[in-house]
Structure 1
Amino acid sequence: MEHKSTSAIQLILDYLRHEGVEYIFGVPGGPLTMLYKALAEQDGITPILAKHEEGAAFMADGYARVRQGLGACCASTGPGSTNALTGIAAAYADSIPVLLLTAQIAVAALGKGAAQESSPFGVDTIELFKHVTKLSAAIPHEQKVAELTQRALRLALSGRSGPVHLSIAGDVAGKPVPHKLIPPHQYRPENRPVDLDSLSQVAELLTNHQRVCILAGHGVNLSGGAAALRQLAEEQHIPVATTPKAKGVFPENHPLSLGVFGFSGHPQAEQYIFSDQLEVLVVIGSGLGEIATHAWNPRLMPAKALVQIDIDPEMIGVNYPVNVGVVADARTALVELKKLLPPNSSSRASSLAQAKDPLPRYHEAHLLEAEHSPLYPPRMIRAMQAILPEDTMLFVDIGNCMPWFLHYYEVRHPHSFFLGLGLGSMGSSLGMAIGGKLAAPHRPAVAVLGDGAFTMNGLEIHTAAEYNIPVIFIVLNDGGFAMVDQGENLLFGKSVSPSRYKNALDLCSVAQGLGVKAFRVSTPSEFEEVLQKCLDLNEPCLIDAQVDPQLIPPTLRMRAETLKSYFEGKTRH
């Protein structure tokens, strides 16, 4: 059968469109001209102009997280490509499927000292991205376009998902190729196998023990397993804690919720899991790294059995010896495990209520009520919970905003709380919120970040203004890198690095200069009034929230103790 022809770059775009991609984020440049020409000649994928390639990568990341599918971004040769590195590395650390499409100089010019050459004869970006992607490859010839595109998409969206990188030379991009497009199910698997024999052992452990618990990790989110997790927990009356990266995958206002376990977690989760009475702990979709385990605390080991379920066999048993290890996609494992279990009596629920009753939900809960100026972040969180709609998407940055919101913000619906904690890249929330809002335009989107994070990618609010993407950017302005300053004071009794600004940032002036409405607030009543106003405006807005620079998140003290043990060479093994 004879197929119509198209250009090599247009064929790549057609594959992206079939994967549901609606936007590609990037910064144009001469070597990318054929890509943008192809975008201009088609419908279905809209190019979004970012201010920086790192921001573009974070936008693709946020889009992929919210849509639970593929995100796409592009960059030109040389510095355009290297600028995207941190954003792609962050997607890799959090297993987010993003396709980065970069340009390359013309094949005929390779090795001749062409401007911004990014081949092995120059700054080799193919090799550079191999360390932070599941695939980094150059498309050497137009005949390889379909094959390499399919391979990239298969790797990005199969198994433990993650970013991929394809580089195409300008002269290859425009060459004609057969327009032979096959649907996704013909080049990547859609079924997700599970080891039923091992899962039967898990079912037996849960059936024969009363004091059990599920620790749900980021893999449950990635697999779309939130509903299956809730069904299993409710039917079996099993309490659920989440790792920090998985916050909200189980509703935190649910009677079976223990909240977050690990960094900035909740006392109920910590005491329940660390209790000598816990018999079986089932870990689903977590590699049990430092952040998820209170720095590999040995008390996490239950009295009878530790079960670890993960899609990546290399994650099982790495940090804790397991009694049963199951290699499986989280959602599939939860669905199949539910089938294997007989109905459970309500006795588990009553024992959980007794265990939770004397335990506080929060550390220093009085901070939620503090009528203080400058603002206390927990009091801001209380206002946000009252004002923001239930389906609001919250994108939280790295810095002190992270422990505040991990601990005090109650997430009531899955896929509503987004945090790039794998790499921990400051400035990520701005781009992620923009991409996330484009993926779900019907849901309110809020980014929360510090003034230090704003200085890194803050110009991306101009992208929101340019395309009228109504994100509310809430900046906790504490005069610099407060987490660093406070951490040093906890460790050494003084600051040892230049972490505070000598000149306060006038974020309202910056935002207004970029076309974004901005408001400065310093009291709870001002914050409440302005937050409601920003919601009603339904356009990009920035709130410059003057927060108390001396108030230390309670959980940061615990983090400081962990760092101290590192410096003293006392890490747990």
Structure 2
Amino acid sequence: MQLNGAEILIECLKEQGVDTVFGYPGGAILNVYDELYKHSNEIRHILTSHEQGASHAADGYARATGKVGVCFATSGPGATNLVTGIATAFMDSIPIVAITCNVGVPLLGKDSFQEIDITGITMPITKYNFIVKNVNDLARTIRKAFEIAQSGRPGPVLIDIPKDVTGNKAEYEPVKIQPIVKYKKEICMEDIDKAVEMIEEAKRPFVFVGGGAILSDASEELRAFVDKVQCPVCDSLMGKGAFPGTDELYTGMLGMHGTKTSNFGVSECDLLIVVGARFSDRVTGNPNKFASNAKILQFDIDVAEMNKNVIIDEGVVGDIKEVLAAVNEKLPQQEHTEWIKKIQEYKAKYPLTYHLESLTGPYVIEEIYKQTEGDAIIVTEVGQHQMWAAQYYKFTKPRTLLTSGGLGTMGYGLGAAIGAKMGRPEKTVVNIAGDGCFRMNMNEVATAARYNIPIIQVVVNNHVLGMVRQWQNLFYGQRYSATVLNDAVDFVKLAEAMGAKAVRATTREEFADAFKFALNAGGPVVIDCQIDSDDKVWPMVAPGAPISEVFDEKDLQEKQQTN
């Protein structure tokens, strides 16, 4: 049948099972929005307050559901406003398809009004991108974009469609979309055999879990693997929830703000088994001294991650779910009683602690965990509150912590929370922000209010850029350059002005009551939590130091007294 480009686009989205799109209209994309209007009973459109919010919402939808998130933007500034969100998804391997519309083909390259080379701009931050100059290529391109976004290591794909292409007609034939095969090559069984051999030889193995275990839906296989190896488990920020945070073998996060148990344990192990992690600098500290007593065995879908940041001894390339299943089939039951006992002693000796007498970030997180019974989707912005959420909320299921790990995008969380709630309406969704982050994209409170999306926005408000201030305090002689936010901005009044309910909490009791109210409010609620400006995230590893030199507040005080 003959359809115009806009009609083909909508039909192709329906083929892919897309039920929600986040975006912002404009002149170049009007044909698409006109067609979307006719299909509003099949595809919901969430009009965000800013295109960046749309890209983060598509990302949050993808992380929460495991499906592809979709966002729309018009040409020029509309398209460029997606860039930060696309880069966020790229760094964390999140499958989104961003669809932009450009000026007509005859106007391309002529500095036309609101023209931008968005494919050129986004080439380094997409898995692939397209500009479709012929309507006959449109359906094939859209299908290919969704396949690329989901297969192998996932990631964002951009499709740029000139306006005349959305109006031109072509023959359209519906296609039944087949399930995506994530990893198409055969896993090398020799590598599996070598992995099994290394595990059998190890006396002090340690499993380190990254985001790849979540992206491949490998939680069940991971638990079976740990049961067979019988060893401690730590994770990265992106790996949280792949292995239950309540399990006795779990030791907490690894790296700059990881637990002493994880950092000491990885530094002392003789085999580090890395499951879907990429050795970020925030994990390894000094890479030359990382896990220096251990052989390193890495499982990853992307061969480019092998020996990129840390030199490994052996690796298995493949989808994590399939790799773990293959290893589990061949690996005999292991026992490491003495090693586990030593790690348990570390856990008892070095628990996470915080000041109990006032309202603090850790208390806020623990109260959220208590009231949600550990069964919420937690979204965060970036900074101290992000680390507190990772440390004090016990994630037991995958896709329940949504956070910008690789790019560290302030302003990510509110849009992502909206996307997550759209994708998982049955779940309680809480976005935890610092006041600095909240300022960046708090306009999306208006989006949540417009659609009465019942998300809970918790602002951990210390009136400073907390993580930057922490570094200034510890490493820059307490020179607080441009990090003090001592103005008169009232988040409660702002939230109410945008149509949400809002509460301020200054004590532990007030926060507990405020969060209970928010859980039952039936719409968006902002909670402004006032905490001390100098609360810090502990433990910590100094930049460039080995993770074995992790220290906490007590260590710092003892060092200062000695000096």
In which range does the TM-score fall when normalised by the shorter chain?
over 0.9
Kindly provide the CA deviation profile for residues 193-219 of structure 1, in whole angstroms up to 9, marking residues without a partner as x. 422220111012212333212111111
Query: Which of 231, 248, 258 is the equivalent residue of 1:265?
Result: 258
- Name the counterpart of 2:126: 133
1:292 aligns with 2:276: no
Indicate the SS of the match to 1:221.
Answer: helix
Counterpart Cα distance in 1 of 2:106 and 2:114: 15
| Letter of the 1:339 counterpart | E
1:169 aligns with 2:166: no
Kindly provide the CA deviation profile for residues 260-312 of structure 1, in whole angstroms up to 9, marking residues without a partner as x. 1113111221121111xx22211111121201223425241344x21111111
Q: CA deviation at 1:462?
A: 0.9
Query: Which of 94, 97, 111 is the equivalent residue of 1:96?
Result: 94
TM-score, structure 2 normalization: 0.92
| Letter of the 1:175 counterpart | N
- Name the counterpart of 1:282: 273
Query: Which of 38, 47, 50 is the equivalent residue of 1:49?
Result: 47
Identify the range of structure 1 (147-156 vs 324-333) with the bigger mean alpha-carbon deviation: 147-156
Identify the range of structure 1 (96-105 vs 229-238) with the bigger mean alpha-carbon deviation: 229-238
Q: CA deviation at 1:415?
A: 1.9
Identify the range of structure 1 (553-562 vs 467-476) with the bigger mean alpha-carbon deviation: 553-562
Kindly provide the CA deviation profile for residues 143-172 of structure 1, in whole angstroms up to 9, marking residues without a partner as x. 111222222122211111110111111221
- Name the counterpart of 1:13: 10
Q: Do the aligned partners of 1:11 and 1:179 also contact (CA within 8 Å) in 2?
A: yes
Q: CA deviation at 1:403?
A: 2.1
Identify the range of structure 1 (495-504 vs 156-165) with the bigger mean alpha-carbon deviation: 495-504
Q: Do the aligned partners of 2:60 and 2:420 also contact (CA within 8 Å) in 1?
A: yes
Q: CA deviation at 1:494?
A: 2.2
Q: CA deviation at 1:559?
A: 4.8
Counterpart Cα distance in 1 of 2:110 and 2:307: 50
| Letter of the 1:451 counterpart | D
Indicate the SS of the match to 1:555.
Answer: coil
- Name the counterpart of 1:320: 310
- The alignment's C-alpha RMSD in Å is 2.1
Query: Which of 147, 151, 154 is the equivalent residue of 1:158?
Result: 151
Query: Which of 10, 20, 25 is the equivalent residue of 1:23?
Result: 20
- Name the counterpart of 1:432: 416
Q: How does 1:334-345 map to 2 (within 5 A)?
A: 334-344=324-334
Q: CA, structure 1 residues 187+11, in 2 after alignment: closer, same or farther (shift >3 Å)?
A: farther
Counterpart Cα distance in 1 of 2:158 and 2:207: 35
Q: How does 1:173-572 map to 2 (within 5 A)?
A: 173-185=166-178, 193-275=186-268, 278-296=269-287, 298-303=289-294, 305-344=295-334, 347-349=335-337, 351-360=339-348, 365-367=353-355, 370-372=356-358, 375-556=359-540, 558-559=542-543
Runs (5+) with no aligned partner, structure 2? 550-563
Q: CA deviation at 1:451?
A: 0.7
Q: CA, structure 1 residues 204+222, in 2 after alignment: closer, same or farther (shift >3 Å)?
A: same
Indicate the SS of the match to 1:511.
Answer: helix
Counterpart Cα distance in 2 of 1:30 and 1:562: 53
- Name the counterpart of 2:553: none
Indicate the SS of the match to 1:365.
Answer: coil
Q: CA deviation at 1:227?
A: 1.6
- Name the counterpart of 1:570: none
Counterpart Cα distance in 1 of 2:349 and 2:405: 23
Q: Do the aligned partners of 1:479 and 1:505 also contact (CA within 8 Å) in 2?
A: no
Q: CA, structure 1 residues 27+361, in 2 after alignment: closer, same or farther (shift >3 Å)?
A: farther
Q: CA, structure 1 residues 260+398, in 2 after alignment: closer, same or farther (shift >3 Å)?
A: same
Identify the range of structure 1 (423-432 vs 208-217) with the bigger mean alpha-carbon deviation: 208-217
Indicate the SS of the match to 2:340.
Answer: helix
Query: Which of 45, 64, 72 is the equivalent residue of 1:66?
Result: 64
Identify the range of structure 1 (200-209 vs 522-531) with the bigger mean alpha-carbon deviation: 200-209
Counterpart Cα distance in 2 of 1:257 and 1:291: 20
Counterpart Cα distance in 1 of 2:231 and 2:12: 42
| Letter of the 1:69 counterpart | K
Counterpart Cα distance in 1 of 2:470 and 2:265: 30
| Letter of the 1:100 counterpart | A
Q: CA, structure 1 residues 186+522, in 2 after alignment: closer, same or farther (shift >3 Å)?
A: closer
Q: CA deviation at 1:108?
A: 3.1
Counterpart Cα distance in 2 of 1:550 and 1:128: 39
Indicate the SS of the match to 2:456.
Answer: strand
Counterpart Cα distance in 1 of 2:8 and 2:386: 41
Counterpart Cα distance in 1 of 2:406 and 2:85: 11
Q: CA, structure 1 residues 84+519, in 2 after alignment: closer, same or farther (shift >3 Å)?
A: same
| Letter of the 2:25 counterpart | P
Counterpart Cα distance in 1 of 2:288 and 2:517: 45
Runs (5+) with no aligned partner, structure 1? 119-123, 566-573
| Letter of the 1:70 counterpart | V
Residues matched between the structures, number: 547
Counterpart Cα distance in 2 of 1:415 and 1:117: 37
Indicate the SS of the match to 2:9.
Answer: helix
**Sequence identity, in percent?**
30
- Name the counterpart of 1:568: none
Q: CA deviation at 1:14?
A: 2.7
Counterpart Cα distance in 2 of 1:364 and 1:64: 32
Q: CA, structure 1 residues 560+401, in 2 after alignment: closer, same or farther (shift >3 Å)?
A: farther
Q: Do the aligned partners of 2:376 and 2:400 also contact (CA within 8 Å) in 1?
A: yes
Indicate the SS of the match to 2:379.
Answer: strand
Counterpart Cα distance in 1 of 2:37 and 2:494: 32
- Name the counterpart of 1:38: 35
Q: Do the aligned partners of 1:479 and 1:504 also contact (CA within 8 Å) in 2?
A: no
Counterpart Cα distance in 2 of 1:111 and 1:213: 55
Counterpart Cα distance in 2 of 1:113 and 1:68: 39
Kindly provide the CA deviation profile for residues 394-431 of structure 1, in whole angstroms up to 9, marking residues without a partner as x. 00110211222222222222221121111001010111
Q: Do the aligned partners of 1:82 and 1:125 also contact (CA within 8 Å) in 2?
A: yes
Indicate the SS of the match to 1:307.
Answer: strand
Indicate the SS of the match to 1:214.
Answer: strand
Counterpart Cα distance in 2 of 1:280 and 1:53: 45
Counterpart Cα distance in 1 of 2:346 and 2:313: 31
Q: CA, structure 1 residues 532+410, in 2 after alignment: closer, same or farther (shift >3 Å)?
A: same
Q: CA deviation at 1:502?
A: 3.1
| Letter of the 1:7 counterpart | N
Counterpart Cα distance in 1 of 2:7 and 2:29: 13
